[in-house]
Amino acid sequence: MKINLAERPQHSISALLLFFILHSVQVGVGLQGFQRIVFKSAGHDAWISVLISGIWSVIVLLIMVKTLSFYENTDLYGIHFDVFGKWIGGLFSALYMLYCLFAFFIIIRNYVEVIQAWLFPQLDAWFVALTLVVMAIYTVSGGIRVLVGLCFFSVLFSAWMILLLIFPIEYADWRSLLPVMEANITHLMRGAYDMTFTIIGFEVLYFINPYIKEKEKTLKFSALGLAYTLFVYLSVMIVSLVYFSGAQLENTIWATLTLFKIIHFPFVERFEYLAITFWMLIILPNLGMYLWCAVRGMSRVFHRNEKSYIYWFSLLIIIPVCFVKTRNDVNTLNGFFAKIAFGVVFCYPFLLFAVTWIKKTYKERKRRKSI
């Protein structure tokens, strides 16, 4: 395997687009109902837990960028090969591919549940899953630039939705935020941990890195993307805390979608139906990026044709969607995935950085001694 890649100029992307890529992958199905889970842990200080999770994400991002800076132009698969060798590195890469496919599956299953619960209760899960998979396949087949373009337009066309928070603010009781810091540090950290499923996605930087032209600007625009994501989640959480009572928030599965129920226009009576349908544009970058990261590994690690594995991986995802039927099943899967994601996204980068730094330092000292 080639550790450093030389991508064609026509495949390169501006570092500015990292803002759109990371934000679009971070915002997805988790935004629809993360408030209840965090509130159960941190109470009305849940907004502080959201803030902590955002700050921790930026710290992890800094470690990721520092790890990538040890190399001229590589991705996570190349780092695994260089640091751990062919067999152990290949195993770690295969596990990361499985993680990406698991994320792909979780996103589809959660959106299928929303469609069935809010719009079409009798609609078969496989039909919605197949529709999403076909769109993801079409996007990934177009290459990295098509995928990045989708991320750009997803952020651009969905930015107006944050303005809809004005409607529930009219009924807000700001006293619900008081007293501040009533929850202890354990509860706050537990709430931050509960944000894992919602705030992940920025780990795709490990795979986008070889295509970035101005690598010295990677951290700047990536951090801006994470900051905008934090602003969105923090705004939604605060509005939810002042709009719902504590008991309501604990029993509202999709709090964000419920906020849309109070919005009425002369030409749209049930705005939440429109929002759920529009949400497909928001989750498509999630699906496309995770699928692309997985099939990219087949090319880098196992030297297989990427396009053929797009279809195999997609078929592998559709089948289990039909066997996850109840809300308890979805909750169990979300909890299990969140535990894996916490280790993969928020812990593993520190281990990888430490091992990479040790190896690079050792090689540099050995080189100096030989001179």
The runs of H, that is alpha helices, within 69-209 are: 76-114, 125-141, 144-158, 166-169, 185-194, 196-199, 205-208
Reported as half-sphere exposure (CB side, CA atoms, 13 A), residue 339 has a value of: 5
pLDDT at 316: 85
3-state secondary structure 266-300: CCECCHHHHHHHHHHHHHHHHHHHHHHHHHHHHHH
| Local structure of 212: helix, strand or coil | strand
Q: Can you give the pLDDT at residue 341?
A: 97
Which pLDDT does position 41 carry in this prediction? 95
- Burial zone of 352 (CB within 10 Å; 0-12 exposed, 13-18 middle, 19+ buried): buried
Count of CB atoms situated within 10 Å of the CB of 368? 8
pLDDT at 317: 87
Taken in order of first residue, the domains within the chain and their CATH numbers are 9-370 (1.20.1740.10)
Give the separation between CA 41 and CA 80, rounded to whole angstroms. Answer: 36
Its pTM surpasses 0.85: yes
What confidence score (pLDDT) does residue 371 get? 63
Q: Which run of H or E residues covers position 331? A: helix 327-341
**Six-digit token pair at 172?**
């807000």
Q: Are 318 and 126 in contact (CB under 8 A)?
A: yes
Give the pLDDT of the chain (371 residues) as one tens digit per residue: 778 777 677 789 999 999 999 999 999 999 999 999 999 999 999 999 999 999 999 999 999 999 999 998 899 999 999 999 999 999 999 999 999 999 999 999 999 999 999 999 999 999 999 999 999 999 999 889 999 999 999 999 999 999 999 999 999 999 999 999 999 999 999 999 999 999 999 999 999 999 998 899 999 999 999 999 999 999 999 999 999 999 999 999 999 999 998 888 877 778 888 899 999 999 999 999 999 999 999 888 887 777 778 888 888 888 888 888 888 999 999 999 999 999 999 999 999 999 999 998 888 787 777 76
What CA–CA distance (Å, rounded) separates 163 from 151?
A: 20
The reported pLDDT for the residue numbered 319 is 86
